[in-house]
Chains A and B, each alone.
Chain A
């Protein structure tokens, strides 16, 4: 089953030479600390807080609208610091989700409106259902689905999850194409007041 084409307006997105499609309305704080490994999609109004700590995302990751990726905070004996956050390849993060995890593995599907607590560890090939709240420091094992508030393991995933996520993210990326017919939308003629 092929996904439909999702169009985005060319003026709204920046395409880098490694194939990342980053929306101009997203906020990438501390962009020198953010590494996007290629072919990622960062949709509108999302935020990546690279200013707190390094954020590294793998290939074919999709960050939907209004999501926040934020490195977690850890108190050490000698002080405090924000932990670097590693996101693996082929990860889909739904709309409006707050990801405060320490590590997100590869081939993970995170639903929308989730809250991933501080310092959680999401292993490869897991799935977080919509509207889940994961308490801090939860470890989500591979091939499980977590759901609810607080998140509990509700189901197991088939071993094909890795191939499914590769298929899904690759075809999502390939079908996310610029809409060449849309001219810049300018809702009002502003009379500047200076």
Chain B
């Protein structure tokens, strides 16, 4: 099983679980870190719930909505997220390389998708449980369907669309642009602060 990184009270541990129980002898102290949020630069107007997991050097543009339990982890390099994005719960955006990871505007990352791609343009949709590998770059208007794993080492053409199941993923190009999510972002900006604590934007 993979090691999981657990955040307990602001300290980060790597735990190697044996079967389903965590054996104390397998706990390794990876490193102490400040409570997350101190290194994230959040623009005015972004709605970032406190329960999401932000680690490392992250910049978040205005009007971006990040739902609780999202994980944005800038392990070695920084992550820059543009405006008007929607990042839903259980999404993992992980930058494990040392170059900057750039995410553009108006993107939607649906529940439980996993993104390691270094460059994502505008107006893309990554659907539930999709996986976008490190070598792939999304241009504008791409749609990665649910549960698709996209590992191709190329910059995807504008409007490309991936569909199908895990290993049998097909692609085609669509001419329509994915619809704008402005209305949903407005709705979430009004509703989420009523139920969650929002991280304070800096500046």
Query: Do A and B share a complex?
Result: yes
A residues adjacent to B (C-beta < 8 A): 27, 29-30, 47, 49-52, 66, 68, 70, 73, 75, 79-82, 96, 98, 100, 113, 115, 117, 131, 133, 148-149, 185, 187-188, 190, 192-193
Let me know if A79 and B183 touch, CB within 8 A: yes
Residue in contact with B183 in the complex, picked from A50, A51, A80, A96, CB distance below 8 Å: A80
Q: A27-B69, A115-B147, A188-B24 are in contact. Are A80 and B32 (CB under 8 A)?
A: no
B146 at the interface (CB under 8 A from A): yes
By a CB distance below 8 angstroms, the chain A residues around B187 are: 79-82
Q: List 10 A-B contacts (CB under 8 A).
A: A27-B69, A29-B195, A47-B68, A49-B89, A70-B111, A73-B184, A75-B183, A80-B184, A190-B9, A190-B11
CA distance A133 to B169 in the complex (A): 13
**Contact-residue size bin, chain B (C-beta under 8 Å from the other chain):** 35 or more
Q: Taking CB as reference atom, which chain A residue is nearest B127? A: A115
Residue in contact with A149 in the complex, picked from B13, B164, B195, CB distance below 8 Å: B164
By a CB distance below 8 angstroms, the chain A residues around B11 are: 190
Q: A27-B69, A115-B128, A149-B147 are in contact. Are A51 and B192 (CB under 8 A)?
A: yes
By a CB distance below 8 angstroms, the chain B residues around A149 are: 146-147, 164-165
CA distance A124 to B68 in the complex (A): 31
Q: Annotate B153-192 by CB proximity to A: 1 below 8 A, 0 otherwise.
A: 0000000000011100000000000000001101100011
Q: Taking CB as reference atom, which chain A residue is nearest B23? A: A187
